[in-house]
Amino acid sequence: MFNYDHIYKSFRSGKLEPFYENLYPGLLVYASRQLGDELSYLAEDCVQDAVMDSFNERHRLGNSMAWYSYILKSIFHRSVSLVRKNNSRNNYLDSGVVEHATPDLDVEILEQEALDMLYQAIETLPQKYRVILRMSFVEGLRNAEIAKRLG
């Protein structure tokens, strides 16, 4: 049994190690189950978003159970939203409308311009943020691994 009060107090003060060591793995499993096999790869994103939201709200949440419930509800709602979007996408793809669509040159140009703007914006970030992006997207590290590596 976890000492939720200790984990919550540590979390609230900015010490995240007890949370990541004790609760995080179970939250990943919970998110994976909510998302199902097809979307389980998004579990870490759901959990990280919920954790970030709860960290921002930590002073408003009065006790450990309110805090933990907040995280679980956030994960649930994010999962439901992703499953619904995926179902809508699948319904659209199954409708046959996509088979008749071909990418126009205009669309490809707009996509490339958007990517160029994104890369330019990334270059304006401070070095530390660029390192985090590289570790996440190029090296494929998870948020917890990046945090551990960067201290």
Amino acid occupying residue 27: L
Structure tokens at 66: 């309110």
Whether residue 89 sits in one domain with residue 67: yes
Whether residue 89 sits in one domain with residue 111: no
Residues 35/79, Cβ–Cβ less than 8 Å:
yes
Whether residue 118 sits in one domain with residue 85: no
Amino acid occupying residue 10: S
pTM: 0.61
Whether residue 93 sits in one domain with residue 21: yes
Total domains in the fold of the chain: 2
Residue span of the structural domain in which 39 resides: 1-101
Q: Which of 17, 10, 11, 2 is nearest to 144 (CA)?
A: 17
Which of 78, 101, 124 corresponds to the end of one domain?
A: 101
| pLDDT, position 75 | 92
Q: Maximum Cα–Cα distance for the chain, whole Å?
A: 58
Cα–Cα distance measured from residue 7 to residue 25, given in angstroms and rounded to the nearest whole number: 14
| CA distance from start to end of the chain | 28
Q: What is the pLDDT along the chain (151 residues), one digit of tens a residue?
A: 778 889 889 988 889 899 888 888 899 999 999 999 999 899 999 999 999 998 888 888 888 888 888 999 999 999 999 999 988 888 877 776 655 555 566 677 777 788 778 878 888 889 888 888 888 877 788 888 889 988 8
Cα–Cα distance measured from residue 15 to residue 34, given in angstroms and rounded to the nearest whole number: 28
Which of 61, 84, 101 corresponds to the end of one domain?
A: 101
Residue in this structure with the two tokens 């096999």, named with its chain if needed: 37
